[in-house]
Chains A and B, each alone.
Chain A
Amino acid sequence: KAGVTQTPRYLIKTRGQQVTLSCSPISGHRSVSWYQQTPGQGLQFLFEYFSETQRNKGNFPGRFSGRQFSNSRSEMNVSTLELGDSALYLCASSLEGAMETQYFGPGTRLLVL
């Protein structure tokens, strides 16, 4: 099976702009989670989607949003970008169930100037 894919792999934006990142999960996986990775804060949970519904949300401002489509593909959007949003954004997919493993994509590296 193909792994989790994320596009684009790299992005450069300026403050105040908005950005949309895309994630295609492993075939058959209906749960998609997003994480932000920075040197200072480490890996932090953004949100999780299952069957097109946001099931959990981390402690991030409302500028961070996401959605999931009927084919389980997911997008996350960050509006009014700030310098501190520069990070590696990781998407993970899994089968349903707390015991299931999350499999991660390669990430999208976002640089905000």
Chain B
Amino acid sequence: AQSVAQPEDQVNVAEGNPLTVKCTYSVSGNPYLFWYVQYPNRGLQFLLKYITGDNLVKGSYGFEAEFNKSQTSFHLKKPSALVSDSALYFCAVREGGGSARQLTFGSGTQLTVLP
């Protein structure tokens, strides 16, 4: 079985400061990891994914994430936060090599960037 944990329901950061949204995962095989963002009354927007290769993945809107196999983590980061980054962020995992295509999502982290 696969699972994702986002230990922080809420993250507050001042505009211009770096931000980190934490994610840890559990899968039987190799993980395929994804980050999505959701704005109010909207669907999920894809930010970035890790499949294989370089542990540092760069995505949309200046976001990046670091895959750490030993810590089973895939934390989302941005060097300088914007007020417009305020939204709900979801980490998701799929087991690579498995037949299942569905994503298993974390519970989400509400990011608030304070002006």
- Chain A residues with a Cβ under 8 A of chain B: 4, 6, 31, 33, 35, 42-43, 45, 48, 50, 55-56, 58, 90, 92, 94, 98-99, 101-107, 109
- A43 near B43 with CB under 8 A, answer no
- Chain B residues with a Cβ under 8 A of chain A: 32, 34, 36, 41-46, 49, 51, 90, 94-108
Most chain-B Cβ atoms within 10 A of its Cβ — which of A4, A33, A45? Answer: A45
Q: Is the interface of A mostly helix, strand, loop or mixed?
A: strand
With a CB–CB cut-off of 8 A, which chain B residues contact A92? 44
Q: Would you mind naming 21 contact pairs between A and B with Cβ atoms under 8 Å apart? A: A4-B43, A33-B102, A42-B106, A42-B107, A45-B102, A45-B104, A48-B101, A48-B102, A55-B99, A58-B102, A98-B96, A98-B98, A98-B101, A99-B32, A101-B49, A102-B103, A104-B44, A104-B45, A106-B43, A107-B42, A107-B43
